[in-house]
Amino acid sequence: MLRLRLAAALVALGLGQSAAALSLVQAYQTALANDPIFASARAQYTAGLEQLPQARSALLPFVTAGASATYNDTRTRFTNQLPRRNVYTDDYGYQLVLSQPLFDWTSWQTYEAAKLGVTLTELGLQYAHQDLMLRVAQTYFDVLAAQDVLTALEAERSAIGEQLQSARRNFEIGTATITDTYEAQARFDLNSAQLLQAENSLQVRRAALEKIIGEPAGTLSVLPAGTPAPPPQPAQAQAWLERAETDNLGVVQAQIQTALASKQVDIARSAHYPQVDLVGTFGQADNRYRPETAQAAQGISDGRARNTASSIGVQVSIPLYTGGYVSSRVREEAAREQAARYDYEDARREAVRATREAFLGVNTGLAQIRALEAAETSSRQALQANLTGYEVGVRINLDVLNAQQQLYATQRDLAAARYNTLLAGLRLKAAAGQLAEDDIDALNRLLRPASEVDTRPPPPPRPLVR
């Protein structure tokens, strides 16, 4: 990381040294440490683990202690001429209470529900981890795709510029009309507008990647032209669909949520059951009283008393009538359980749909890559033929411009198809619950540092002066 920052600083100072390429694995590892969404998920996971000790505490002994200190001023006045009597007392005491649940079905079921809650928390972290891998790969390849679009438009600009110069020379020597020059100029101006949009798109997509990794992205590794996209393994759609129905994280979460909803029904129903507790107490109280001086002369003197008490026993609490509250809670939780079952079925169907869509996306992408590779070859040949026809006078300047546009559009579509196919492969594994860090590493091995790869498209045939 220090090397990346140092290299970026050297570039900023204009020392002409290039920054080390940021690989896909490096971007992912940096995002693990810096992405705020994943950091929030980790914090939620840590918080969710506390459900279990909190639920377990209701099954363990409760010990409480209390103490008191009281000053009493008692003044008695008689109506039969007896002297009044004032007594001042000080009371001190403390008490220990131990309570151990012997039978508390609500607490037991709550403890079992907490185990399911912890499992849901763990699944939530797994889902955040999977989502991070997809987001990093998506934004990383978005930047590469934007770079390819910009590179192709720059190459197209160069080709149009040469065609524009050729049209001007031909007009000057009288072998072409001014129309050819206007057409080439119009294409050149349109390309300039497209270049501005492509540069803006590259900056936006780079910013999206930097938001995830939390630092400047620098130079990225690139996908060399002709790198084959891996086909899905296994190659049968049914195998992927079967995995999705059992291993998809959304399906597993829905299964756990259904089991948790069933536990909530048991918890609500347990409010009908008795609760048995073992309760023990121990306490001590000191009492001291002090009469006034006149009363002391009459034989009433200071006194002190100490009381010690202890007890142990079993307490049984049986709910007899709660106004229909418990029955209403049972009906409510039963309805929620039914809703959870429907949610599980929806999650299962969605997993199957997403897996089928991703599987088709990979296979369609592979076929599209082959078709676009053939189209690129054909477009290059068509451009060569149009240039030759323009030279001998059977093709016009507009034909050449159209052929150039078709070639570079095909190159942009081919680059996009390659990235989309690789991303579809990741989404397929995610939908089937099989996505892991090894898959990110496998994609990273397809990439190469930009300094080792010539990302410029092959130059088109040069226009000739007629």
Q: Is 465 inside a domain boundary?
A: no
- The whole-chain average pLDDT of the chain stands at 86
- pLDDT-based confidence at residue 77 (cuts at 50, 70, 90): low
Output the DSSP codes for 359-428.
HHHHHHHHHHHHHHHHHHHHHHHHHHHHHHHHHHTSS-HHHHHHHHHHHHHHHHHHHHHHHHHHHHHHHH
Q: Which amino acid is at 135?
A: R
Q: Is 375 inside a domain boundary?
A: yes
What percentage of the chain reaches a pLDDT higher than 70?
A: 86
Query: Does residue 162 surpass a pLDDT of 50?
Result: yes
Six-digit token pair at 165?
């110069």
Residue 18's pLDDT is 40
Which residues form the domain of 92?
Answer: 62-103+275-317
Residue 33's pLDDT is 93
Q: Are residues 387 and 269 in the same domain?
A: yes
Q: Are residues 282 and 426 in the same domain?
A: no
Q: Are residues 206 and 335 in the same domain?
A: yes
Contact 312, 337 (CB under 8 A): no
* Cα–Cα distance for residue pair 152/60, rounded to 1 Å: 70
* Cα–Cα distance for residue pair 370/30, rounded to 1 Å: 34
List residues bridging with 63 in a β-sheet.
98
Query: Does residue 457 surpass a pLDDT of 70?
Result: no
Contact 283, 93 (CB under 8 A): yes
Number of domains the chain contains: 2
Give the H or E element holding residue 291.
strand 275-291
| Interior angle at CA 386, CA 382 and CA 391, nearest 5 | 150
Give tens-digit pLDDT for 97-137: 999 999 999 999 999 999 999 999 999 999 999 999 999 99
Q: Are residues 245 and 235 in the same domain?
A: yes
Q: How many CB atoms lie within 10 A of CB 422?
A: 20
Q: What is the mean pLDDT of residues 356-378?
A: 93
Contact 166, 464 (CB under 8 A): yes
Buried b vs exposed e over 8-45: b needs ≥16 C-beta within 10 Å? Answer: beeeeeeeeeebbbbbbbbbbbbbbeebeebeebeeeb
Q: Is 454 inside a domain boundary?
A: no
* Cα–Cα distance for residue pair 464/461, rounded to 1 Å: 9
Q: Are residues 76 and 146 in the same domain?
A: no
- CA quadruple 204, 208, 209, 215: dihedral sign: positive
Q: What is the mean pLDDT of residues 404-421?
A: 90
Query: Does residue 51 surpass a pLDDT of 60?
Result: yes
Query: Does residue 466 surpass a pLDDT of 60?
Result: no
Give tens-digit pLDDT for 307-332: 899 999 999 999 998 889 999 999 99
**206 CB-side CA count, 13 A:** 16
Contact 232, 359 (CB under 8 A): yes
Q: Are strands 62-76 and 275-291 parallel, antiparallel or unpaired?
A: unpaired
Q: By CB neighbour count within 10 A (0-12 exposed, 13-18 middle, 19+ buried), where does 125 fall?
A: middle
The least confident of 133-142, 218-227, 348-357 is 218-227
* Cα–Cα distance for residue pair 443/449, rounded to 1 Å: 14
Of residues 187 and 117, the one with the higher pLDDT is 117
Q: Is 7 inside a domain boundary?
A: no
Residue 107's pLDDT is 93
Judged by phi (left if over 0) then psi (alpha if -120 to 50, else beta), residue 174 lies in: left
- Sequence-ordered list of residues with C-beta below 8 angstroms from that of 199, at least 6 positions apart, any chain: 150
Q: Are residues 307 and 377 in the same domain?
A: no
Q: What is the mean pLDDT of residues 45-51?
A: 95
Which of helix, strand or coil describes residue 174?
coil
In order of 265, 332, 389, the CA distances from 338 in angstroms are: 11, 10, 73
C-alpha torsion 230→236→242→248, nearest 10: 20
CATH code for the domain in which residue 436 is found:
1.20.1600.10
Q: Are residues 91 and 157 in the same domain?
A: no
CATH code for the domain in which residue 70 is found:
2.20.200
Residue 297's pLDDT is 44
Q: Are residues 200 and 347 in the same domain?
A: yes
Query: Does residue 5 surpass a pLDDT of 60?
Result: no
Q: % helix / strand / coil in the chain, to the nearest 5? A: 65, 15, 20
Q: Are residues 351 and 279 in the same domain?
A: no
- pLDDT-based confidence at residue 159 (cuts at 50, 70, 90): confident
Q: What is the mean pLDDT of residues 341-355?
A: 96
- pLDDT-based confidence at residue 167 (cuts at 50, 70, 90): confident
Q: Are residues 108 and 96 in the same domain?
A: no
Q: Are residues 220 and 251 in the same domain?
A: yes
Among the three residues 317, 351, 380, which one is the final residue of a domain in this structure? 317
Q: Which amino acid is at 391?
A: E
Q: Does residue 234 have a cis peptide bond before it, meaning omega lies within 30 degrees of 0?
A: yes
Residue 109's pLDDT is 94
The residue written with tokens 């989502």 in the block is 131
Of residues 114 and 218, the one with the higher pLDDT is 114
The residue written with tokens 């649940």 in the block is 101
Q: Is 435 inside a domain boundary?
A: yes
Q: Is 3 inside a domain boundary?
A: no
Give tens-digit pLDDT for 429-438: 999 999 999 9
Query: Does residue 22 surpass a pLDDT of 70?
Result: yes
Q: Is 209 inside a domain boundary?
A: yes
Q: Is 18 inside a domain boundary?
A: no
Buried b vs exposed e over 445-460: b needs ≥16 C-beta within 10 Å? Answer: ebbbebeebebebeeb
Q: Are residues 49 and 129 in the same domain?
A: yes
